[in-house]
Structure 1
Amino acid sequence: MPTSPAKVIPGDRPLLGIGYMLIAGLLFVMLDSTAKWLTQTHSPVQVLWARYAGHMVILAGYLLWLGLANSRPLLVTESLGGQCLRGLLLGLASLLAYLSLRELPLLQVYVFHFGAPLLVTLLAVPLLGERVDRARGLAVMLGFVGVLVAMGPVDWRAQPVALLPFGMALCFALYQLTTRRFGRHDHPLASLWYAGLAGALASSIALPFFWTPIGLAELPYFLGIGLLGATSQLALILAMRHAPASLVSPFLYLQIVWASLFGFVLFGDLPPLTTYLGATLIIAAGIFLARRRG
Protein backbone atom coordinates (compact mmCIF):
# COMPACT_ATOMS: atom_id res chain seq x y z
CA MET A 1 0.00 0.00 0.00
CA PRO A 2 1.49 3.40 -0.97
CA THR A 3 2.14 6.02 1.60
CA SER A 4 -0.64 8.53 2.14
CA PRO A 5 -0.15 12.12 1.03
CA ALA A 6 -0.63 14.85 3.57
CA LYS A 7 -4.29 15.87 3.75
CA VAL A 8 -4.53 19.64 3.39
CA ILE A 9 -7.88 20.90 4.65
CA PRO A 10 -9.53 24.25 3.82
CA GLY A 11 -7.92 27.02 5.83
CA ASP A 12 -4.51 25.35 5.90
CA ARG A 13 -1.52 27.40 4.72
CA PRO A 14 1.11 24.77 3.89
CA LEU A 15 3.93 27.15 2.95
CA LEU A 16 3.46 29.13 6.15
CA GLY A 17 3.44 25.88 8.15
CA ILE A 18 6.68 24.77 6.51
CA GLY A 19 8.22 28.17 7.21
CA TYR A 20 7.33 27.96 10.90
CA MET A 21 8.78 24.43 11.06
CA LEU A 22 12.06 25.59 9.52
CA ILE A 23 12.21 28.41 12.08
CA ALA A 24 11.44 25.95 14.89
CA GLY A 25 14.25 23.67 13.79
CA LEU A 26 16.78 26.51 13.77
CA LEU A 27 15.61 27.78 17.17
CA PHE A 28 15.89 24.29 18.69
CA VAL A 29 19.50 23.99 17.53
CA MET A 30 20.28 27.49 18.85
CA LEU A 31 18.69 26.47 22.17
CA ASP A 32 20.73 23.28 22.44
CA SER A 33 23.94 25.01 21.35
CA THR A 34 23.45 27.55 24.14
CA ALA A 35 22.75 24.73 26.60
CA LYS A 36 25.89 22.88 25.50
CA TRP A 37 27.99 26.00 26.06
CA LEU A 38 26.47 26.73 29.49
CA THR A 39 26.78 23.15 30.75
CA GLN A 40 30.54 23.34 30.37
CA THR A 41 30.63 25.60 33.45
CA HIS A 42 27.24 25.07 35.14
CA SER A 43 25.11 22.12 36.17
CA PRO A 44 22.61 20.90 33.56
CA VAL A 45 19.95 21.26 36.30
CA GLN A 46 20.68 24.99 36.56
CA VAL A 47 20.55 25.35 32.78
CA LEU A 48 17.28 23.39 32.71
CA TRP A 49 15.83 25.73 35.33
CA ALA A 50 16.80 28.79 33.28
CA ARG A 51 15.19 27.28 30.20
CA TYR A 52 11.85 26.58 31.92
CA ALA A 53 11.78 29.64 34.18
CA GLY A 54 12.30 31.87 31.16
CA HIS A 55 9.67 29.90 29.28
CA MET A 56 7.12 30.53 32.05
CA VAL A 57 7.94 34.23 32.44
CA ILE A 58 7.46 34.85 28.73
CA LEU A 59 4.28 32.79 28.51
CA ALA A 60 2.82 34.35 31.67
CA GLY A 61 3.50 37.81 30.24
CA TYR A 62 1.67 36.86 27.05
CA LEU A 63 -1.33 35.52 28.98
CA LEU A 64 -1.46 38.68 31.11
CA TRP A 65 -1.41 40.73 27.92
CA LEU A 66 -4.42 38.73 26.68
CA GLY A 67 -6.24 39.47 29.94
CA LEU A 68 -7.62 37.12 32.56
CA ALA A 69 -11.00 36.74 30.90
CA ASN A 70 -9.46 35.80 27.56
CA SER A 71 -6.60 33.65 28.81
CA ARG A 72 -8.46 31.55 31.41
CA PRO A 73 -10.48 29.52 28.84
CA LEU A 74 -7.26 28.78 26.95
CA LEU A 75 -5.78 27.00 29.97
CA VAL A 76 -8.69 24.63 30.54
CA THR A 77 -7.52 21.02 30.29
CA GLU A 78 -9.29 17.69 30.21
CA SER A 79 -6.58 16.07 32.33
CA LEU A 80 -4.41 18.19 34.62
CA GLY A 81 -2.52 15.11 35.81
CA GLY A 82 -1.88 14.01 32.25
CA GLN A 83 -0.63 17.44 31.25
CA CYS A 84 1.72 17.54 34.24
CA LEU A 85 2.99 14.05 33.39
CA ARG A 86 3.84 15.07 29.84
CA GLY A 87 5.56 18.18 31.21
CA LEU A 88 7.69 16.10 33.57
CA LEU A 89 8.63 13.74 30.74
CA LEU A 90 9.65 16.68 28.57
CA GLY A 91 11.68 18.12 31.42
CA LEU A 92 13.44 14.79 31.99
CA ALA A 93 14.13 14.47 28.26
CA SER A 94 15.61 17.98 28.30
CA LEU A 95 17.78 17.18 31.32
CA LEU A 96 19.13 14.02 29.69
CA ALA A 97 19.73 16.02 26.51
CA TYR A 98 21.76 18.62 28.41
CA LEU A 99 23.76 15.90 30.17
CA SER A 100 24.42 14.36 26.75
CA LEU A 101 25.35 17.68 25.17
CA ARG A 102 27.91 18.35 27.88
CA GLU A 103 29.89 15.26 26.81
CA LEU A 104 28.91 14.41 23.23
CA PRO A 105 28.98 16.26 19.88
CA LEU A 106 25.85 18.26 19.08
CA LEU A 107 25.07 16.30 15.92
CA GLN A 108 25.40 12.91 17.61
CA VAL A 109 22.82 13.89 20.22
CA TYR A 110 20.47 15.05 17.45
CA VAL A 111 20.80 11.74 15.65
CA PHE A 112 19.40 9.99 18.73
CA HIS A 113 16.69 12.64 19.04
CA PHE A 114 15.65 11.79 15.48
CA GLY A 115 15.13 8.23 16.66
CA ALA A 116 12.28 9.24 18.98
CA PRO A 117 9.55 8.77 16.29
CA LEU A 118 10.71 5.16 15.93
CA LEU A 119 10.10 4.59 19.63
CA VAL A 120 6.75 6.37 19.40
CA THR A 121 5.67 3.92 16.70
CA LEU A 122 6.69 0.92 18.80
CA LEU A 123 5.39 2.17 22.16
CA ALA A 124 2.04 3.24 20.67
CA VAL A 125 1.20 -0.45 20.26
CA PRO A 126 1.07 -1.41 23.97
CA LEU A 127 0.29 2.07 25.35
CA LEU A 128 -2.31 3.37 22.88
CA GLY A 129 -3.50 0.16 21.25
CA GLU A 130 -2.32 1.23 17.79
CA ARG A 131 -1.28 -1.26 15.12
CA VAL A 132 1.97 -1.37 13.15
CA ASP A 133 1.83 -2.94 9.69
CA ARG A 134 4.76 -4.71 8.06
CA ALA A 135 5.96 -1.69 6.12
CA ARG A 136 6.09 0.53 9.21
CA GLY A 137 7.74 -2.25 11.18
CA LEU A 138 10.48 -2.53 8.54
CA ALA A 139 10.93 1.24 8.62
CA VAL A 140 11.41 1.13 12.39
CA MET A 141 14.01 -1.64 12.00
CA LEU A 142 15.82 0.43 9.36
CA GLY A 143 15.83 3.41 11.70
CA PHE A 144 17.31 1.42 14.58
CA VAL A 145 20.03 0.12 12.26
CA GLY A 146 20.75 3.78 11.53
CA VAL A 147 21.09 4.48 15.26
CA LEU A 148 23.65 1.69 15.63
CA VAL A 149 25.57 2.88 12.57
CA ALA A 150 25.60 6.49 13.79
CA MET A 151 26.74 5.49 17.27
CA GLY A 152 29.59 3.33 16.01
CA PRO A 153 31.54 0.91 18.20
CA VAL A 154 31.22 1.92 21.85
CA ASP A 155 32.58 0.36 25.01
CA TRP A 156 29.52 0.93 27.22
CA ARG A 157 31.41 0.17 30.41
CA ALA A 158 34.12 2.72 29.60
CA GLN A 159 31.71 5.28 28.11
CA PRO A 160 28.43 5.09 30.09
CA VAL A 161 27.60 8.64 28.97
CA ALA A 162 26.73 7.14 25.59
CA LEU A 163 23.60 5.69 27.21
CA LEU A 164 22.22 9.15 28.01
CA PRO A 165 20.88 9.88 24.49
CA PHE A 166 18.94 6.61 24.59
CA GLY A 167 17.20 7.79 27.76
CA MET A 168 16.56 11.18 26.17
CA ALA A 169 14.93 9.59 23.10
CA LEU A 170 12.80 7.29 25.27
CA CYS A 171 11.54 10.15 27.48
CA PHE A 172 10.79 12.32 24.45
CA ALA A 173 8.89 9.46 22.81
CA LEU A 174 6.82 9.00 25.98
CA TYR A 175 6.22 12.76 26.04
CA GLN A 176 4.87 12.61 22.48
CA LEU A 177 2.62 9.68 23.36
CA THR A 178 1.23 11.43 26.45
CA THR A 179 0.64 14.53 24.31
CA ARG A 180 -1.36 12.39 21.92
CA ARG A 181 -3.24 10.83 24.84
CA PHE A 182 -3.91 13.84 27.08
CA GLY A 183 -3.41 16.98 25.01
CA ARG A 184 -5.36 16.15 21.90
CA HIS A 185 -8.38 18.34 22.69
CA ASP A 186 -6.69 21.05 24.77
CA HIS A 187 -5.74 24.44 23.38
CA PRO A 188 -2.06 24.55 22.29
CA LEU A 189 -1.38 27.27 24.85
CA ALA A 190 -2.63 24.96 27.61
CA SER A 191 -0.20 22.28 26.52
CA LEU A 192 2.60 24.85 26.34
CA TRP A 193 1.69 26.26 29.77
CA TYR A 194 1.47 23.00 31.72
CA ALA A 195 4.58 21.53 30.08
CA GLY A 196 6.54 24.63 31.11
CA LEU A 197 4.98 24.73 34.58
CA ALA A 198 5.90 21.13 35.38
CA GLY A 199 9.47 21.64 34.19
CA ALA A 200 9.85 24.93 36.06
CA LEU A 201 8.54 23.54 39.36
CA ALA A 202 10.61 20.35 39.23
CA SER A 203 13.83 22.16 38.31
CA SER A 204 13.18 24.86 40.95
CA ILE A 205 12.95 22.20 43.67
CA ALA A 206 16.30 20.71 42.61
CA LEU A 207 18.00 24.04 41.86
CA PRO A 208 19.38 24.82 45.39
CA PHE A 209 21.45 21.62 45.30
CA PHE A 210 23.11 22.51 41.96
CA TRP A 211 23.30 26.31 41.98
CA THR A 212 26.57 28.03 41.08
CA PRO A 213 27.04 31.81 40.68
CA ILE A 214 26.26 33.26 37.25
CA GLY A 215 28.84 35.64 35.85
CA LEU A 216 27.75 38.91 34.26
CA ALA A 217 28.99 37.76 30.84
CA GLU A 218 26.90 34.57 31.14
CA LEU A 219 23.68 36.32 32.13
CA PRO A 220 22.51 37.05 28.54
CA TYR A 221 22.88 33.35 27.70
CA PHE A 222 20.81 32.30 30.72
CA LEU A 223 18.14 34.82 29.74
CA GLY A 224 18.33 33.84 26.09
CA ILE A 225 17.84 30.13 26.71
CA GLY A 226 14.42 30.81 28.22
CA LEU A 227 13.45 32.97 25.25
CA LEU A 228 14.63 30.33 22.80
CA GLY A 229 12.76 27.62 24.70
CA ALA A 230 9.44 29.46 24.52
CA THR A 231 9.72 30.71 20.93
CA SER A 232 10.88 27.35 19.54
CA GLN A 233 7.87 25.58 21.06
CA LEU A 234 5.54 28.31 19.80
CA ALA A 235 6.96 28.04 16.27
CA LEU A 236 6.40 24.28 16.38
CA ILE A 237 2.78 24.72 17.48
CA LEU A 238 2.15 27.31 14.74
CA ALA A 239 3.64 24.96 12.15
CA MET A 240 1.24 22.20 13.18
CA ARG A 241 -1.66 24.63 13.23
CA HIS A 242 -1.13 25.87 9.66
CA ALA A 243 -0.36 22.55 7.94
CA PRO A 244 -0.73 18.77 8.44
CA ALA A 245 1.89 17.19 10.68
CA SER A 246 2.80 14.65 7.99
CA LEU A 247 3.68 17.54 5.66
CA VAL A 248 5.73 19.74 7.97
CA SER A 249 7.36 17.19 10.31
CA PRO A 250 9.99 15.99 7.79
CA PHE A 251 11.32 19.55 7.49
CA LEU A 252 12.42 19.35 11.13
CA TYR A 253 15.09 16.90 9.97
CA LEU A 254 16.93 19.84 8.40
CA GLN A 255 18.20 20.32 11.94
CA ILE A 256 21.00 18.01 10.89
CA VAL A 257 22.36 20.83 8.71
CA TRP A 258 22.19 23.38 11.53
CA ALA A 259 23.57 20.93 14.10
CA SER A 260 26.52 20.13 11.84
CA LEU A 261 27.24 23.80 11.22
CA PHE A 262 26.82 24.97 14.82
CA GLY A 263 28.74 21.99 16.16
CA PHE A 264 31.72 22.64 13.89
CA VAL A 265 31.82 26.44 14.18
CA LEU A 266 31.14 26.73 17.92
CA PHE A 267 32.67 23.54 19.33
CA GLY A 268 34.99 22.19 16.64
CA ASP A 269 32.99 18.95 16.33
CA LEU A 270 33.64 16.97 13.17
CA PRO A 271 31.62 13.73 13.36
CA PRO A 272 32.71 10.70 11.30
CA LEU A 273 30.94 9.79 8.07
CA THR A 274 29.15 6.93 9.85
CA THR A 275 27.20 9.52 11.86
CA TYR A 276 25.82 11.02 8.65
CA LEU A 277 25.12 7.59 7.17
CA GLY A 278 23.20 6.57 10.29
CA ALA A 279 21.34 9.89 10.31
CA THR A 280 20.30 9.31 6.68
CA LEU A 281 18.79 5.93 7.55
CA ILE A 282 16.98 7.34 10.60
CA ILE A 283 15.62 10.31 8.67
CA ALA A 284 14.43 8.09 5.79
CA ALA A 285 12.59 5.88 8.28
CA GLY A 286 11.14 8.89 10.11
CA ILE A 287 9.86 10.52 6.93
CA PHE A 288 8.27 7.26 5.81
CA LEU A 289 6.51 6.86 9.16
CA ALA A 290 5.29 10.49 9.08
CA ARG A 291 3.91 10.13 5.56
CA ARG A 292 2.40 6.74 6.31
CA ARG A 293 0.61 8.11 9.35
CA GLY A 294 -0.62 11.11 7.38
Structure 2
Amino acid sequence: MTQQNTKLGIWLMILTTAVFAIQDGLSRHLAGEYNTLMVVMIRYWFFSAFVIAMAARKTGGIRAVARSRKPVLQMFRGALLSVEVCVMVAGFAYLGIINTQAIFIAYPLLIAALSGPILGEQVGWRRWSAIGVGFVGVMIIIQPGVGVFSPAALLPLTAAAMFAIYGLLNRYVARYDSSATSFFWTGTMGAVVMTLAGIWFWEPMSPPDWGWMALLCVGGMLGHYLLIRVYEMAEASAVQPFAYFQLFFGALVGMFIFGEDLHLNVVIGATVVISAGLFTLWRERQKR
Protein backbone atom coordinates (compact mmCIF):
# COMPACT_ATOMS: atom_id res chain seq x y z
CA MET A 1 0.00 0.00 0.00
CA THR A 2 1.47 3.35 -0.96
CA GLN A 3 2.14 6.20 1.42
CA GLN A 4 -0.14 8.41 -0.65
CA ASN A 5 -3.02 5.98 -0.19
CA THR A 6 -2.46 5.99 3.56
CA LYS A 7 -2.44 9.79 3.66
CA LEU A 8 -5.64 9.92 1.64
CA GLY A 9 -7.20 7.33 3.97
CA ILE A 10 -6.30 9.48 6.98
CA TRP A 11 -7.87 12.59 5.45
CA LEU A 12 -10.96 10.62 4.52
CA MET A 13 -11.21 9.34 8.10
CA ILE A 14 -11.06 12.91 9.42
CA LEU A 15 -13.75 13.93 6.93
CA THR A 16 -15.84 10.93 8.00
CA THR A 17 -15.64 11.97 11.66
CA ALA A 18 -16.83 15.46 10.72
CA VAL A 19 -19.82 13.99 8.85
CA PHE A 20 -20.68 11.74 11.79
CA ALA A 21 -20.41 14.67 14.22
CA ILE A 22 -22.92 16.63 12.15
CA GLN A 23 -25.10 13.54 12.09
CA ASP A 24 -24.91 13.40 15.89
CA GLY A 25 -26.07 16.99 16.08
CA LEU A 26 -29.04 16.29 13.82
CA SER A 27 -29.88 13.20 15.89
CA ARG A 28 -29.79 15.22 19.08
CA HIS A 29 -32.16 17.84 17.67
CA LEU A 30 -34.66 15.30 16.34
CA ALA A 31 -34.52 13.09 19.45
CA GLY A 32 -35.31 16.17 21.51
CA GLU A 33 -38.49 16.73 19.49
CA TYR A 34 -39.65 13.18 18.64
CA ASN A 35 -39.41 9.65 19.96
CA THR A 36 -35.90 8.23 19.61
CA LEU A 37 -37.13 4.92 18.20
CA MET A 38 -39.00 6.67 15.40
CA VAL A 39 -36.00 8.83 14.52
CA VAL A 40 -33.63 5.85 14.37
CA MET A 41 -36.21 3.82 12.43
CA ILE A 42 -36.46 6.37 9.62
CA ARG A 43 -32.68 6.66 9.57
CA TYR A 44 -32.40 2.89 9.13
CA TRP A 45 -34.94 2.85 6.31
CA PHE A 46 -32.60 5.03 4.26
CA PHE A 47 -29.54 3.12 5.43
CA SER A 48 -31.04 -0.24 4.37
CA ALA A 49 -31.98 1.19 0.96
CA PHE A 50 -28.37 2.31 0.60
CA VAL A 51 -26.85 -1.09 1.44
CA ILE A 52 -29.35 -2.92 -0.79
CA ALA A 53 -28.48 -0.61 -3.69
CA MET A 54 -24.78 -1.25 -3.12
CA ALA A 55 -25.36 -5.01 -2.91
CA ALA A 56 -27.29 -4.97 -6.19
CA ARG A 57 -24.22 -3.56 -7.95
CA LYS A 58 -21.94 -6.38 -6.77
CA THR A 59 -21.21 -9.47 -8.85
CA GLY A 60 -24.06 -11.92 -8.30
CA GLY A 61 -26.37 -9.23 -6.98
CA ILE A 62 -28.21 -9.14 -3.67
CA ARG A 63 -28.51 -12.93 -3.35
CA ALA A 64 -24.74 -13.41 -3.54
CA VAL A 65 -23.99 -10.61 -1.10
CA ALA A 66 -26.63 -11.78 1.40
CA ARG A 67 -25.26 -15.34 1.46
CA SER A 68 -23.56 -15.84 4.83
CA ARG A 69 -21.81 -18.70 6.55
CA LYS A 70 -22.90 -17.23 9.91
CA PRO A 71 -26.42 -15.87 9.27
CA VAL A 72 -27.61 -15.97 12.88
CA LEU A 73 -24.55 -14.09 14.08
CA GLN A 74 -24.93 -11.58 11.26
CA MET A 75 -28.54 -10.94 12.25
CA PHE A 76 -27.50 -10.50 15.88
CA ARG A 77 -24.80 -8.01 14.85
CA GLY A 78 -27.28 -5.91 12.90
CA ALA A 79 -29.81 -5.95 15.72
CA LEU A 80 -27.16 -5.09 18.32
CA LEU A 81 -25.93 -2.06 16.40
CA SER A 82 -29.46 -0.71 15.91
CA VAL A 83 -30.11 -0.89 19.66
CA GLU A 84 -26.72 0.72 20.33
CA VAL A 85 -27.65 3.62 18.05
CA CYS A 86 -30.86 4.15 20.01
CA VAL A 87 -28.98 4.20 23.32
CA MET A 88 -26.42 6.63 21.91
CA VAL A 89 -29.06 9.01 20.53
CA ALA A 90 -30.84 8.92 23.89
CA GLY A 91 -27.51 9.89 25.45
CA PHE A 92 -27.32 12.93 23.16
CA ALA A 93 -30.78 13.99 24.30
CA TYR A 94 -30.06 13.60 28.04
CA LEU A 95 -26.34 14.44 28.34
CA GLY A 96 -25.52 16.42 25.23
CA ILE A 97 -23.06 15.56 22.49
CA ILE A 98 -19.83 16.50 24.29
CA ASN A 99 -20.36 14.44 27.45
CA THR A 100 -21.84 11.50 25.56
CA GLN A 101 -18.97 11.32 23.07
CA ALA A 102 -16.36 11.83 25.79
CA ILE A 103 -17.60 8.72 27.61
CA PHE A 104 -18.30 6.69 24.46
CA ILE A 105 -14.70 7.00 23.21
CA ALA A 106 -13.78 4.37 25.80
CA TYR A 107 -15.04 1.67 23.42
CA PRO A 108 -11.57 0.78 22.01
CA LEU A 109 -10.52 -0.03 25.57
CA LEU A 110 -13.54 -2.30 25.95
CA ILE A 111 -12.67 -4.00 22.66
CA ALA A 112 -9.17 -4.67 23.97
CA ALA A 113 -10.52 -5.96 27.28
CA LEU A 114 -13.11 -8.24 25.68
CA SER A 115 -10.94 -9.52 22.83
CA GLY A 116 -9.55 -12.21 25.14
CA PRO A 117 -12.79 -13.87 26.34
CA ILE A 118 -14.67 -13.38 23.04
CA LEU A 119 -11.99 -13.95 20.39
CA GLY A 120 -9.35 -15.77 22.40
CA GLU A 121 -6.76 -13.07 21.73
CA GLN A 122 -3.92 -12.55 24.19
CA VAL A 123 -3.99 -9.26 26.09
CA GLY A 124 -0.69 -8.49 27.81
CA TRP A 125 -0.06 -6.55 30.99
CA ARG A 126 0.76 -3.36 29.08
CA ARG A 127 -2.63 -3.23 27.40
CA TRP A 128 -4.38 -4.20 30.63
CA SER A 129 -2.57 -1.29 32.32
CA ALA A 130 -3.70 1.05 29.55
CA ILE A 131 -7.27 -0.22 29.90
CA GLY A 132 -7.15 0.50 33.63
CA VAL A 133 -5.78 4.01 33.04
CA GLY A 134 -8.46 4.62 30.42
CA PHE A 135 -11.23 3.78 32.82
CA VAL A 136 -9.73 6.15 35.35
CA GLY A 137 -10.26 8.75 32.64
CA VAL A 138 -13.91 7.70 32.32
CA MET A 139 -14.34 8.09 36.07
CA ILE A 140 -12.85 11.60 35.83
CA ILE A 141 -15.49 12.45 33.22
CA ILE A 142 -18.56 11.06 34.98
CA GLN A 143 -17.40 11.92 38.54
CA PRO A 144 -19.15 9.14 40.49
CA GLY A 145 -19.90 10.06 44.09
CA VAL A 146 -19.98 13.76 43.24
CA GLY A 147 -23.18 15.77 43.18
CA VAL A 148 -22.99 16.49 39.46
CA PHE A 149 -22.99 12.80 38.50
CA SER A 150 -26.00 11.85 36.41
CA PRO A 151 -27.38 8.32 36.00
CA ALA A 152 -27.74 9.23 32.32
CA ALA A 153 -23.95 8.71 32.10
CA LEU A 154 -24.77 5.00 31.99
CA LEU A 155 -26.26 5.52 28.51
CA PRO A 156 -22.96 6.22 26.67
CA LEU A 157 -21.20 3.61 28.82
CA THR A 158 -23.79 1.04 27.75
CA ALA A 159 -23.51 2.19 24.13
CA ALA A 160 -19.71 1.85 24.31
CA ALA A 161 -20.00 -1.71 25.64
CA MET A 162 -22.49 -2.66 22.94
CA PHE A 163 -20.37 -1.08 20.21
CA ALA A 164 -17.29 -2.91 21.50
CA ILE A 165 -19.10 -6.25 21.27
CA TYR A 166 -20.31 -5.29 17.80
CA GLY A 167 -16.73 -4.49 16.78
CA LEU A 168 -15.45 -7.82 18.08
CA LEU A 169 -18.23 -9.67 16.25
CA ASN A 170 -17.13 -7.83 13.10
CA ARG A 171 -13.70 -9.37 13.53
CA TYR A 172 -15.17 -12.80 14.10
CA VAL A 173 -17.55 -12.87 11.13
CA ALA A 174 -14.77 -11.49 8.90
CA ARG A 175 -13.25 -14.97 9.16
CA TYR A 176 -16.25 -16.36 7.29
CA ASP A 177 -17.99 -13.57 5.32
CA SER A 178 -16.92 -10.65 3.14
CA SER A 179 -17.20 -7.05 4.32
CA ALA A 180 -19.98 -6.52 1.75
CA THR A 181 -22.02 -9.32 3.35
CA SER A 182 -21.53 -7.92 6.84
CA PHE A 183 -22.45 -4.41 5.66
CA PHE A 184 -25.61 -5.75 3.99
CA TRP A 185 -26.78 -7.52 7.15
CA THR A 186 -25.95 -4.50 9.30
CA GLY A 187 -28.31 -2.27 7.33
CA THR A 188 -31.13 -4.66 6.56
CA MET A 189 -31.38 -6.33 9.97
CA GLY A 190 -31.18 -2.97 11.70
CA ALA A 191 -34.07 -1.72 9.56
CA VAL A 192 -36.17 -4.77 10.45
CA VAL A 193 -35.53 -4.42 14.19
CA MET A 194 -36.13 -0.68 14.26
CA THR A 195 -39.33 -0.96 12.21
CA LEU A 196 -40.73 -3.54 14.63
CA ALA A 197 -39.83 -1.28 17.57
CA GLY A 198 -40.34 2.20 16.16
CA ILE A 199 -43.51 1.97 14.08
CA TRP A 200 -45.59 2.05 17.28
CA PHE A 201 -44.21 5.48 18.15
CA TRP A 202 -44.91 7.17 14.85
CA GLU A 203 -45.90 10.83 15.17
CA PRO A 204 -46.28 13.66 12.66
CA MET A 205 -43.17 15.70 11.90
CA SER A 206 -43.10 19.34 10.93
CA PRO A 207 -41.90 20.18 7.38
CA PRO A 208 -38.64 21.76 8.65
CA ASP A 209 -37.87 18.66 10.72
CA TRP A 210 -38.50 16.43 7.70
CA GLY A 211 -35.77 18.49 6.04
CA TRP A 212 -33.43 17.83 8.96
CA MET A 213 -34.37 14.16 8.87
CA ALA A 214 -33.55 13.98 5.16
CA LEU A 215 -30.20 15.61 5.86
CA LEU A 216 -29.57 13.11 8.67
CA CYS A 217 -30.29 10.18 6.36
CA VAL A 218 -28.11 11.56 3.56
CA GLY A 219 -25.34 12.23 6.09
CA GLY A 220 -25.60 8.69 7.37
CA MET A 221 -25.25 7.22 3.90
CA LEU A 222 -22.36 9.58 3.08
CA GLY A 223 -20.59 8.75 6.33
CA HIS A 224 -20.81 4.99 5.76
CA TYR A 225 -19.69 5.38 2.15
CA LEU A 226 -16.68 7.42 3.24
CA LEU A 227 -15.85 4.85 5.89
CA ILE A 228 -15.84 2.12 3.26
CA ARG A 229 -13.50 4.21 1.14
CA VAL A 230 -11.24 4.82 4.15
CA TYR A 231 -10.62 1.11 4.66
CA GLU A 232 -10.11 0.63 0.93
CA MET A 233 -7.39 3.29 0.97
CA ALA A 234 -5.45 2.36 4.10
CA GLU A 235 -4.99 -0.27 6.79
CA ALA A 236 -7.35 0.02 9.75
CA SER A 237 -4.44 0.32 12.21
CA ALA A 238 -3.14 3.38 10.34
CA VAL A 239 -6.41 5.32 10.26
CA GLN A 240 -8.18 4.20 13.43
CA PRO A 241 -6.41 6.70 15.74
CA PHE A 242 -7.85 9.55 13.65
CA ALA A 243 -11.38 8.39 14.50
CA TYR A 244 -10.93 10.34 17.74
CA PHE A 245 -11.40 13.52 15.71
CA GLN A 246 -15.12 12.85 16.06
CA LEU A 247 -14.87 14.06 19.66
CA PHE A 248 -13.27 17.33 18.46
CA PHE A 249 -15.91 17.95 15.79
CA GLY A 250 -18.66 16.84 18.17
CA ALA A 251 -17.44 19.37 20.74
CA LEU A 252 -17.65 22.12 18.11
CA VAL A 253 -21.23 21.12 17.23
CA GLY A 254 -22.20 20.85 20.90
CA MET A 255 -20.75 24.22 21.90
CA PHE A 256 -21.64 26.38 18.90
CA ILE A 257 -24.98 24.83 17.89
CA PHE A 258 -26.46 23.64 21.20
CA GLY A 259 -24.64 25.91 23.66
CA GLU A 260 -23.09 23.04 25.61
CA ASP A 261 -20.29 23.68 28.10
CA LEU A 262 -16.90 21.99 27.89
CA HIS A 263 -15.90 21.31 31.50
CA LEU A 264 -12.32 20.81 32.66
CA ASN A 265 -12.98 17.32 34.04
CA VAL A 266 -14.29 16.26 30.61
CA VAL A 267 -11.17 17.61 28.87
CA ILE A 268 -8.83 15.89 31.33
CA GLY A 269 -10.77 12.63 31.34
CA ALA A 270 -11.10 12.51 27.55
CA THR A 271 -7.36 13.16 27.18
CA VAL A 272 -6.60 10.22 29.47
CA VAL A 273 -9.05 7.93 27.65
CA ILE A 274 -7.74 8.89 24.19
CA SER A 275 -4.12 8.42 25.28
CA ALA A 276 -4.91 4.97 26.67
CA GLY A 277 -6.87 4.08 23.55
CA LEU A 278 -4.04 5.13 21.26
CA PHE A 279 -1.63 3.04 23.29
CA THR A 280 -3.83 -0.08 23.02
CA LEU A 281 -4.10 0.46 19.25
CA TRP A 282 -0.32 0.81 19.01
CA ARG A 283 0.27 -2.35 21.08
CA GLU A 284 -2.23 -4.28 18.98
CA ARG A 285 -0.41 -3.21 15.85
CA GLN A 286 2.95 -4.21 17.37
CA LYS A 287 1.59 -7.64 18.32
CA ARG A 288 0.35 -8.19 14.78
1:37 correspondence with 2:49:
no
Query: In the superposition, relative to structure 1, how do residues 184 and 30 fare at CA in structure 2: closer, same or farther (>3 Å)?
Result: farther
1:46-76 alpha-carbon deviations (Å, 9 max, x no partner): 1110111111122333444x27735543443
**How far has the Cα of 1:154 moved from its partner?**
5.5
Equivalent in 26, 41, 44 of residue 49 of structure 1 = 41
Partner secondary structure for residue 44 of structure 2: helix
Equivalent in 8, 11, 18 of residue 19 of structure 1 = 11
TM-score by length of 1: 0.90
Equivalent in 123, 126, 131 of residue 122 of structure 2 = 131
| Partner Cα separation in structure 2 for residue 183 and residue 155 of structure 1 | 43
Q: 1:163-182 maps to which residues of 2 (within 5 A)?
A: 163-182=154-173
- Does the 8 Å contact 2:55/2:180 carry over to 1? no
Which one has a larger percent helix, Structure 1 or Structure 2? 2
Partner secondary structure for residue 33 of structure 2: coil
| Partner Cα separation in structure 2 for residue 122 and residue 156 of structure 1 | 30
| Partner Cα separation in structure 2 for residue 60 and residue 153 of structure 1 | 44
Equivalent in 63, 66, 69 of residue 60 of structure 2 = 69
**How far has the Cα of 1:277 moved from its partner?**
0.7
Which letter maps to 1:272? H
Paired residue for 1:234? 225
% same residue: 28
Which letter maps to 1:35? S
Which letter maps to 2:184? W
- Does the 8 Å contact 1:105/1:271 carry over to 2? no
Partner secondary structure for residue 39 of structure 1: helix
| Partner Cα separation in structure 1 for residue 168 and residue 89 of structure 2 | 22
- Does the 8 Å contact 1:97/1:165 carry over to 2? yes
**How far has the Cα of 1:158 moved from its partner?**
8.2
**How far has the Cα of 1:195 moved from its partner?**
0.5
**How far has the Cα of 1:15 moved from its partner?**
1.1
Paired residue for 2:181? 190
- Does the 8 Å contact 1:21/1:252 carry over to 2? yes
**How far has the Cα of 1:105 moved from its partner?**
1.9
Unpaired segments ≥5 residues, structure 2: none
Quote the RMSD (CA, aligned, Å).
Answer: 2.1
| Partner Cα separation in structure 2 for residue 11 and residue 271 of structure 1 | 36
Paired residue for 1:144? 135
Partner secondary structure for residue 131 of structure 1: coil
- Does the 8 Å contact 2:143/2:149 carry over to 1? no
- Does the 8 Å contact 1:110/1:256 carry over to 2? yes
Deviates more, 1:54-63 or 1:259-268: 54-63
| Partner Cα separation in structure 2 for residue 155 and residue 170 of structure 1 | 23
Equivalent in 216, 241, 247 of residue 225 of structure 1 = 216
**How far has the Cα of 1:119 moved from its partner?**
0.8
Paired residue for 1:102? 93
| Partner Cα separation in structure 1 for residue 149 and residue 24 of structure 2 | 26
Deviates more, 1:72-81 or 1:246-255: 72-81
Q: How many residues align?
A: 285
